Amino acid sequence: MKKLIASLALGLGLLMGGTAVMAQAPAAPAATEAPAADAKPADAAMPAAAAPADAAAAAAPEVKPTVDKGDVAWMMVATLLVIFMAVPGLALFYGGLVRSKNMLSVLMQVLVVFSLITVLWAVYGYSLAFGGEGLIVGNLSKLFLAGVNGDSLADTFTASAKLPEYIFIAFQATFAGITCALIVGSFAERIKFSAVLLFSVIWFTFCYLPIAHMVWGSGGYLLSKGALDFAGGTVVHINAGVAGLVGAYMVGKRIGYGKESMAPHSLTLTMVGASMLWVGWFGFNAGSNLEATSGATLAFVNTLLATGAAVLAWCVGEALAKGKASMLGAASGAIAGLVAITPACGSVGPMGSIIIGLVGGFVCLWGVNGLKRMLKADDSLDVFGVHGVGGIVGALLTGVFTAPSLGGTGKADFSIASQVFIQAEGVVITIVWSAVVAVIAYKIVDMLVGLRVTEEEEREGLDISSHGETAYHR
């Protein structure tokens, strides 16, 4: 009888133990397997409970994605900051750099191109860039924002954290808009307004959208290769810089270029515009984190430090080369630093960002002087020299300073050589793609509406000849 009681007690003990294991299994997080040497004697009971435990875990409800009000608020602010850097920031920066007779034409081009692209983004751009999982481009599943409503969500870098899809669409629309607006600086002061708009539509459709998808879209070629572009070094700056350089060649040089003075009419406005760009760029870079987390703060501080370093580098370089540091140079240095840090801002450390800013400042100074003379192109506002060259520098150095040994956020097995190779591949693909599409687009525009205003209209100034207005009344 005693043996029977003992057996029953032992069986009850085992049953209670197995029940305890099953009760805890669903609540416990997924754990890594422990080495066999660390196994405890009590684990001998686990095989018997494994099947029920697995069944309970499978039946447990999945963690629902959450939308944090702080993330939503931050992304709305970031989107506003990017709009601020485009209009009025970029518009005033460019406007101050041209002659007074062309001031309004540049403001108009930036404003209308930005507006045009935001509308096209909603109609089909978002779908082609972020719809589907194509290698080069998405699909038309979200044409006219089909299926998007107040309840639809967009992914972030955290699996459980989501954003309302509307704010993600708006944020990405500003990127597309400012990219196309950047290009107008290359052929400022001599292109038809209709030509600017038609070119923007073609280039946006066949260049910006594929590059954006390849770098950021699900299934995109460069994304799958592991290319790093946190906020748009390739998608925005190299892309726009190359298209601008092609435009400078195909539209031709301004009348009197190299013979007449074409100095900026208002460095004050250029300084104001550059300052607005610097402020707005925090939305551009830190906003690309998509969440109000430490990742956003890293991009924030890197944007601050790299820009300051680039301003100093440009001033030093200019002082050594010309004997004086100029206001125009300091403002240009700020933009160069912002461009250079853009692809790296979320993956390099603060000290790495300073080095990237210094290198970007010096190299872009050469880009708008030595390289520009070598290319013999009338890139009116140095779009390629600053954005193209700065974007290339930033993209390549991202592959270096993302290394954890240099303060970056890369994994322990991060290889600088491999990553630089991947970054270089992304740079080459962007350059070639943008150049080819730009050549075709300019040819189409030239055949349909013509690229350039008449000599009489150009000498009169585009403010009057294209828009019937003047920026200043004397």
pLDDT digits (tens, 9 = 90+) for 440-466: 999 999 999 999 999 999 999 999 999
In a domain, 473, yes or no: no
Model confidence at 337: pLDDT above 60: yes
Burial of 135 from C-beta contacts in 10 A (0-12 / 13-18 / 19+):
middle
pLDDT tens sequence across 160-187: 999 999 999 999 999 999 999 999 999 9
Pair 372, 427 in one domain: yes
Domain that holds residue 34: 2-59
State how many domains the chain has.
2
- Does 67 or 12 have the greater pLDDT score? 67
Pair 151, 229 in one domain: yes
In a domain, 125, yes or no: yes
Instruction: Write down the mean pLDDT value for the chain.
Output: 89
| pLDDT-wise least confident of 28-42, 72-86, 256-270, 444-458 | 28-42
pLDDT of residue 6: 42
Across residues 62-90, what is the average pLDDT?
A: 94
Rounded to the nearest 5 degrees, what angle is found at the Cα of 422, between the Cα atoms of 417 and 426?
145
pLDDT tens sequence across 364-388: 999 999 999 999 999 999 999 999 9
Pair 209, 123 in one domain: yes
Across residues 9-17, what is the average pLDDT?
A: 38
- Could you write out the DSSP letters of every residue in 150-214? TT-EEE-SSTTEEEEHHHHHHHHHHHHHHHHHHHTTTSTTTB-HHHHHHHHHHHIIIIIHHHHHH
Q: Which pTM value belongs to this model?
A: 0.86
Looking at residue 123, the DSSP 8-state letter turns out to be: I
Task: Return the H-helix or E-strand segment holding 66.
Answer: strand 66-67
Pair 358, 377 in one domain: yes
In a domain, 474, yes or no: no
Structure-block tokens of residue 60: 């447990």
pLDDT tens sequence across 30-67: 333 333 333 333 333 333 334 444 544 455 566 688 99
Q: How many helices (H) does the chain have, and how many strands (E)?
A: 21, 3
Pair 14, 74 in one domain: no
In a domain, 472, yes or no: no
